[in-house]
Structure 1
Amino acid sequence: MSIWWIISGLDWISGKINQYMYQREAEKLQEECRNLKIRYQREVEKLQEECRNLEIRLSHREEILNDERREKKTFISKFEEERKEKEKALTRLSSIAGDKLRVNNPGIADLSDENRPNKLGEKFSELYDNEWTEAYESLEDVGVDEEEIIKKLLDILKEVYTCCQHYAKAQRHRLIQVISLPSRSDEQSQDAATPEKVMSKVVDLQKQTVSIALSDVKNTIITTRSEFADTEVKQKYTVRCMQLC
């Protein structure tokens, strides 16, 4: 009986010892778990702090980048404005220079103008080959000698040229007065310095409307100088001279 109690006592003691050891192990594991939680929490807090710092730095860099983008956009906008202004200025300068060069300067030719100097030279050659030759032959047929024929035809050309120059100058003067001094009457009009741009536009207008003006010039010259049109071929020659002059 006593042995059984001894064995029971030993079992109880062993159980207590095991319970104590398990408890100690559990407490140790709990302590390690708490330490791990603390370390984890600290690591998490550290990472969160680093994330916040990174976010602050990223936000700061984004602000700098946005400022640089705005500055770049402003610079590009100003550059485009200055480029457009430069192009406008160059266009105006080119236009002014072109107008200045073209006025009273036959050496500067507008290639779109069918009556530019070299084209007029060709047309005068055609005048000699066609109308002049026909008029020459018709006068020769009625017994006029060669020298007289040449003089007559030259006088027609010279007279027509003088008249056309006079009419063109008068027309140009009136147009300039109407444009530059619209408030003045013809009696008050006086010659004034004309901007090259205005003069160039007036000359261009005269060139574009020459076919309209030609009818009036033709009637005036033929009426005042009937001997220029006393035959069909002379009239044809005279009208062609008018067209070229």
Structure 2
Amino acid sequence: MDSCDIIVYCLSGVLGLEIIALLIVSVCICTGTIEAKLRKKNLRLKDKLREEKTRLEDELRKETQEKEDALKRLSAIMSSRLRDGNPNIADLNDLNRPTKVGEHFSELYDNQWTDAYDAIKNFFENTLTELEIIQILLELVKECFTECKAVSKNQMEKLKENVENITAIITKSDSQLPSYLMQHIKEERKLIAPNHIPAVDMILPRLERNFSSKNRNPKFLDEPPMKAYIQECLKLSWFMVIQDPPMTMILEPASNDYRYFKEYKNRGKFLGYIVWPALLLQEEGELICKGTAEFTSASSSLNSEAELNVRL
């Protein structure tokens, strides 16, 4: 081998090494590029997985919430249907439920009734008999109850009419309100009842006309104890009439059934006259609190005092 061959051989070796080096570098570059692409692809995949996970979690929360809301609505509907017109199922969170109204009604007789009795007695300077004063007080509670019944009926009719009109506009049909919706309206009205108690000024003009027609000076109604008595009668009467079904009073018992009344002063087998009405859960329903009546041993006394008995 001459010197030229040796030089060519060496150059070939050097070139081969460079080619190999270049190949190695190319492979490394390609490998790095591939790894970078894979990392980017993995990151995009992870981002998509996180987004999909978040979407699925959101859908799960939404569906869970919708399910809970549906169960609550179903429970409310079933509860409303169960309570609709059923006074035996009481809401113990309701501070104005029938039993509480009965307690306050008894307190009214023990407190404001006594103050009003003295106010009438003093205003008329002892010219009225005890029976006449009792009759006035009984008439006042009766008028308050009648007024509240009228207001309640008118209010419910307007509420029903307004809701039906809105429903007809939305649904384009004249369908009756579902019973559960009516029950919900009644319950909502009970919640706001303390803010819508009829005021004394609403009923006072009519009371003044009534007593003027009976030759009674109506100015006694302006006495503070009288206004306090009338206002309390209105408040409790209002809480009675908004119950579902409405509570009722007994001012004239059937026959001589004295089980609804306790004695005023005297005992006996027959009712002489009513002093304070008994309170029932509903018409012909369970007794919530007894009234007060004067009893006698003579049956004729009931007829002699018939003018005092007022049926609501």
TM-score under structure 2 normalisation? 0.48
In structure 1, the residue matched to 2:186 is 199
Q: Which has the larger radius of gyration?
A: 1
8 Å CA contact 2:104–2:236 kept in 1: the answer is: yes
Aligned residue runs from structure 1 range 1-245, under 5 A: 30-82=11-63, 85-86=66-67, 89=70, 107-108=90-91, 120=101, 123-124=104-105, 127-138=108-119, 142=126, 144-145=129-130, 153-181=137-165, 195-196=181-182, 197-203=184-190, 207-211=194-198, 214-224=200-210, 230=218, 231=220, 232=223, 233-234=225-226, 236-245=228-237
SS of 2:129's equivalent? coil
Structure 1 residues 236 and 62: CA distance shift in structure 2, 3 A: closer
Structure 1 residues 61 and 28: CA distance shift in structure 2, 3 A: same
Residue identity matched to 2:116: A
Residue identity matched to 1:144: T
8 Å CA contact 2:197–2:234 kept in 1: the answer is: no
Residue identity matched to 2:185: V
8 Å CA contact 1:131–1:237 kept in 2: the answer is: yes
Q: Which structure has the highest strand share of the two? A: 2
TM-score under structure 1 normalisation? 0.58
Q: C-alpha deviations, 1:191-244, integer Å up to 9, x for none?
A: 9766333334455566533356x5323333443355698433556533431233
Q: C-alpha deviations, 1:66-88, integer Å up to 9, x for none?
A: 43233224324433543554565
SS of 2:90's equivalent? coil
Q: C-alpha deviations, 1:100-155, integer Å up to 9, x for none?
A: 688766832666x7x6667756754653454212233356662734x775565345
SS of 1:57's equivalent? helix
8 Å CA contact 1:132–1:153 kept in 2: the answer is: yes
Residue identity matched to 1:237: Y
Structure 1 residues 238 and 42: CA distance shift in structure 2, 3 A: closer
CA distance in 2, matches of 1:224, 1:148: 15
- Which structure is higher in RCO with an 8 Å CA cutoff and minimum separation 6? 1
Aligned positions, number? 214
SS of 1:210's equivalent? coil
8 Å CA contact 2:116–2:226 kept in 1: the answer is: yes
Question: What RMSD over aligned residues (CA atoms) do the two structures have, in Å?
Answer: 4.6
